Structure 1
Amino acid sequence: SHPPTSSEARVTFVTPLAGPTKRREAKRSGGRVVAGVWIPPKPVEPDDCCMSGCVNCTWEVFREDLEEWKSAERRARAALAKLGGGEG
């Protein structure tokens, strides 16, 4: 009904938008190696979607990161099974 004030906008957009470089750096610094397989950090659901239907929506980026994380987890589990480490 009324345009948001600057304080209302700050509440909506509390997280700075991270570009591809920041995402890559965050993945490298937070990942781990399991049975020789590098696993990126588990992605966190975004809290900065503007609901405008952006082509590169934060939810699309999250989905891509989640798929990458799940794939790495599967590869690590398979590698552990080959080493006799089980599925734990």
Structure 2
Amino acid sequence: MTQYLHGERRAALVAQASKRYAAGLTIRQVAAEIGYSYCATRNMLIRAGVELRPRPRGLTTESPQQKHDGGRQQSTSPAGAATTDRHAA
């Protein structure tokens, strides 16, 4: 069950979360440390005026086209036209 904090206890938790986030931890890591959900931790940081870092992009090995077509590989038909091969290894 979620425990609601007020006053000094909440201020101490917000200060701890802000400090850990500023030290480079992700919101998920901070949330795990303080025992709150990602969403609750993110909202806590926003309400405290913490400037959130942008989410990392491009950490996947898929190309944008592979993401768009569900990761299917392109193969060439005998006539030279590109086709989608759903069973390519």
Q: Name the TM-score, length of structure 2 as normaliser.
A: 0.31
Larger RCO (CA under 8 A, 6+ residues apart): 1
Question: Which structure features the higher share of helix residues?
Answer: 1
Q: Which has the larger radius of gyration?
A: 2
Q: Name the TM-score, length of structure 1 as normaliser.
A: 0.31
